[in-house]
Chain A
Amino acid sequence: MDLSEFEADNSVSCRLASAIPDVCKTQDCCLGIDEAGRGPVLGPMVYGICFCPVSKKEDLKNLKLADSKTLTEEQREDLFLKLDEAKSFVGWALQILSPNTISTSMLQRSKYNLNALSHDAAIGLVQFVLDSGVQLKELFVDTVGPAAKYQEKLSQRFPGVEVTVCPKADSLFPIVSAASICAKVARDHAVKSWTFPEDMGELDTNYGSGYPNDPKTKAWLLKYLDPVFGYPQFVRFSWSTAQTLLDSKAVPVHWDDDEEDGEKAAARQNNTSMLSYFKASAQQSDSRTPHRFFTERRLQSLHTL
Chain B
Amino acid sequence: MTSSNCGVTTLRLDSQTERASVHLLPCEIEYDGAAEVSQFFTATIKDRKHEKTVSFRGRGLKGQEVICPQGYSGLVLREVNKPGSDQEDRNVKVSSVFQKFTYWNLETLPNSDDGIVMAMAWPDLADAVSVLHFLQ
Contacts and interface: CB of A to CB of B under 8 A. Distances in A.
A and B touch in the complex (CB under 8 A): yes
Interface of A: 9, 11, 100, 103-104, 107-109, 197-201, 226-230, 232-233, 236-238, 242, 246, 251-257, 293, 296-299, 304-305
B9 interface: yes
B119 A229 contact: no
Q: What's the dominant secondary structure at chain A's contact region?
A: loop
Contacts of B119: 297-299
Contact of B92 (A104, A233, A255, A305): A305
A293 B115 CA distance: 11
B81 to A, nearest CB: 15
Given A246-B57, A297-B119, A297-B122, 16 more contacts: A9-B46, A100-B55, A104-B58, A109-B106, A109-B107, A198-B43, A199-B40, A226-B40, A229-B36, A237-B58, A242-B58, A251-B30, A252-B29, A253-B30, A255-B26, A304-B4
Contact of A297 (B40, B106, B115): B115
A229 B30 contact: no
B39 interface: yes
B29 A251 contact: yes
A254 B31 contact: no
16 contacts: A11-B55, A104-B59, A108-B107, A197-B43, A199-B43, A226-B36, A227-B35, A233-B44, A237-B59, A251-B31, A253-B27, A253-B57, A254-B30, A296-B118, A304-B4, A305-B90
Given A198-B39, A229-B35, A252-B30, A297 B57 contact: no
A197 B45 CA distance: 9
Contacts of B122: 297, 299
Contacts, number: 98
Contact of B55 (A9, A233, A296): A233
Contacts of A100: 55, 58
The interface centre, meaning the residue of A200, A229, A230 with most chain B CB atoms within 10 A of its CB, is A229
A197 B38 CA distance: 11
A232 B31 contact: no
B28 interface: yes
Contacts of B27: 253-256
The interface centre, meaning the residue of B30, B35, B44 with most chain A CB atoms within 10 A of its CB, is B44
A228 B55 contact: no
Contacts of B69: none
A233 to B, nearest CB: 6
B10 to A, nearest CB: 11
Contacts of B4: 304
Contacts of B92: 305
Contacts of B43: 197-199
A215 B55 CA distance: 27
Nearest to A293: B125
B121 interface: yes
Contacts of A297: 115, 118-119, 121-122
A297 B118 CA distance: 6
A108 B4 CA distance: 46
Contacts of B26: 255-256
A120 B40 CA distance: 30
A100 B56 CA distance: 10
A104 B115 contact: no
